[in-house]
Amino acid sequence: MIPLLSVSDLRVGFGRNPEANEVVRGVSFDLADGETLAIVGESGSGKSVTALSINRLVDYGGGRITGGSIKLRRADNSVVDLLTATEQQLTKIRGAEIGMIFQEPMTSLNPVLTIGTQIEESFRLHRGLTGRQATAAAKDALDRVRIPDAARRLEYTPNQLSGGMLQRVMIAMALACNPRLLIADEPTTALDVTVQAQIMALLAELKRETGMSMIFITHDIGLVAGIADKIMVMQGGEAVEQGELNQILDHPQHPYTQHLLHAVPHFASGRATRSDGRREKDKGTEPALKVDGLVVRFPVKSGFFGRASGAVHAVDGVDFDLMPGETLAIVGESGSGKSTTARAVLGLVRSTRGTFSAGARKAAAEQSALPVQMVFQNPYASLNPRLTIASILAEPVIATGGRVNAQTRAKMAALLKRVGLPESSLERYPHEFSGGQRQRLCIARALMLNPSVVVLDEAVSALDVSVQARVLELLVDLQREFGLAYLFISHDMAVVERIAHRIAVIYAGQIVEIGDATSVLSEPKHSYTKKLIAAVPTIDRRHERFEIDTRQVPSLVRPLGFEPSPAKWDKFGPDHRARVEA
């Protein structure tokens, strides 16, 4: 039997001299009918370029295939080499035989057309359906990806749907013509962990239903356990190891695969939490930060005169305290209010109610008036590209009325050294640094004012796994050295497990469970926390069925004057409580 897809010695280059700038260097693999191959690697490993070469989309991105062959067995059992196929043949093959879904569902759909129109388009192109037939087919397609209320959703434009729903729409479009091969390029990276689990479950179910083959590209080796039959690990444009799922996960041969499996934080249900710096009771130290009854509401205006008709209850009665040297992780999905909480603490959004007190740490002489500093998620957006590193690091000092003198410069150099960057970085510009290095710069900038609390808003989410591990180590070291308190906001349970002493789970603007990290992760009490933990992908969960849940997060828009009823708590130990569910 000829395999469905047979790639041999594929070479792809970029730029004017593609032979010299090879990004993919001799990759070979076979894919049989109904099989799933997972391509795993960090950014820059050539995994996306390999996949884009298969449907020849790489040509549009400036790439040139310089060698090898990609043989596809078509529906009529004829074999074509996609490298020599004409553009006309390729247009027929794309969509009809090879479907593709991308990482960013938000940007892959046209924002001004309804999703119905966009799905109908692929039916019109490949199957010649028009009018009512096309609409019916589009509705069926949405039903197939388990979108509730499909007929009505056809009329929606992309902005009216959540990221998870949009990714379902993308999958529906890719499957419109029953392709025999689906290429999924990091389809869940931009999504929340529970949504990710749902999409993965959906893909697994669709694969069973249709018997299609799949190439699944990801940087997260933990994610593939549930779906892949074979794994190919890529590094620097080469496939360093490939084989059956169990063989790779249990007996990795190549050092890079071993590194991926070990350096990457795997969620261990509370068995890998930190043992240092635990909270000690009744020690009488002042908390570094105390938040009491924080409420953030955004008015909803409607009608011709823009009268306030309601309010978005983004954060609704959040309280916690944070001791010096302690990490409190706030976990929850996007839209749950975790970032708004952080921004309110820093005064970037105005809180409607509630008090904060950033407690007096042992008053160091140079302690500034701003004890709370922040590190942002996107290291590419949080540094001004036009300023040198020296100006960037000097800004907090200037902002607080200080002067850039020899002392400041010495401090800048010392901090740079401490976060692991050379002193010569001072004269350079942000674009000369990698994502991980930029995040180190952001950390150095946050430490310029000797804060007692650092808010880390998804600070390692945008980084590659191995870079992520090193930045986390740095954060732990800095915490010990300076006695910093971290407010660590994340959706990644595996990362949270490594750094948090305590965890607060936030859902729909309210804390539903808070307590000691080990206790919360090993014995979650609230149903939402359980769901969140069940959704974490790990290499232990192989081919496990995950129930598809299409419920949406409840609306946070409330009528004017609405007040939630006061929370009732159940206590489950010295430092672990969960909100009583209605």
Partner 1 sequence: MRILRAIFAHTSGRIGGAIVALYLLLAVLGMLGLTPHNPLMQYRVDRLHAPDSAYWMGTDLFGRDVASRLMTGIGQSFTVAFFSVAFATLAGTILGLAAAWFGRWDGLLMRIMDVLLAFPAILLALLIVTVAGPGTWTSIVAIAIVYTPIFTRVVRGPALSLKAREFVDAARTFGSSSSYILTRHLLLNLVAPLTVQVTLALAWALLTEAGLSFLGLGTQPPAASLGLMLSDSRNLMETAPWLMIFPGLAIMISILGFNLLGDALRDILDPKMRRSIA
In the bound state with partner 1, the residue whose beta carbon lies nearer, of 73 and 445, is 445
Pairing of strands 453-457, 485-490: parallel
Q: Which residues in 409-438 contact partner 1 (CB under 8 A)?
A: 429, 431-432
- Please name every residue paired with 511 in a beta bridge, in sequence order, or none if there are none: 506
Query: Could you say whether residue 332 binds partner 1 (CB under 8 A)?
Result: no
Q: Tell how strand 569-571 and strand 576-579 pair up.
A: antiparallel
Task: Pick between residue 442 and residue 471 the one whose CB is nearest to partner 1.
Answer: 442
Residue number, 181 or 342, with CB nearest to partner 1: 342
Number of amino acids touching partner 1 (CB under 8 A):
31
Residue 306 binding partner 1, by CB under 8 A: no
Q: Can you tell me which of 107, 130, 400, 527 binds partner 1, judged by CB under 8 A? A: 400
DSSP-derived secondary structure letter, 156: -
Q: Which is nearer to partner 1, 116 or 430 (CB)?
A: 430
Interacting span for partner 1 (CB under 8 A) from 49-57, 128-136, 171-179, 443-451: 443-451
| Rounded Cα gap, residues 441 and 471, in angstroms | 11
* CA–CA separation, 9 and 6 (whole Å): 10
Q: What is the smallest separation between the CB atom of 431 and partner 1, expressed in angstroms?
A: 5
Kindly tell me which residue out of 336, 341, 373, 439 binds partner 1, with binding defined by CB under 8 A: 373
Q: With CA atoms as reference, report the closest residue to 575 among 512, 511, 524, 515.
A: 515
Between 167 and 339, name the residue whose CB sits nearer to partner 1.
339
Cα separation, 506 vs 533, in Å, equals 13
> Is residue 347 at the binding interface for partner 1, with CB under 8 A as the rule?
yes
463 closest CA partner among 454, 453, 455, 473:
473
Burial letters 52-81, b for 16+ CB under 10 A, else e: bbbbbbbeeeebbbbbbebbbbeeeeeebe
Q: Is 449 in the site for partner 1 (CB under 8 A)?
A: yes
Binding of residue 461 to partner 1 (CB under 8 A)? no
Q: Is 550 helix (H, G, I), strand (E, B) or coil?
A: coil
484 binds partner 1 (CB under 8 A): no
Per-residue tokens: 220: 């997260």
Out of 108, 247, 285, 391, point to the residue binding partner 1 (CB under 8 A).
391
Measured from the CB atom, the residue of 398 and 557 that comes closer to partner 1 is 398
Give φ, ψ of 486 to 5 degrees: -110, 135
Residue 109 identity:
L
Stretch of residues binding partner 1 (CB under 8 A), selected from 52-60, 157-165, 367-375, 529-537: 367-375
Supply φ then ψ for residue 417, to 5 degrees.
-65, -40
For the record, the structure tokens of 496 come out as 């949270």
**398 in contact with partner 1 (CB under 8 A):** yes
**CB neighbours of 135 closer than 8 A, spacing ≥ 6?**
116, 120, 154
- Of 245 and 442, nearer to partner 1 (C-beta) is 442
Determine, following the binding rule CB under 8 A, whether residue 489 of this chain makes contact with partner 1.
no
By CB under 8 A, which span of 123-131, 280-288, 395-403, 569-577 interacts with partner 1?
395-403
Strand boundaries in 274-393, DSSP class E: 289-302, 307-322, 327-331, 353-357, 372-375
**Using rule CB under 8 A, residue 352 touches partner 1:** no
Binding site for partner 1 (CB under 8 A): 346-348, 369-370, 372-374, 376-378, 381-387, 391, 395-396, 398-400, 429, 431-432, 442, 445, 448-449
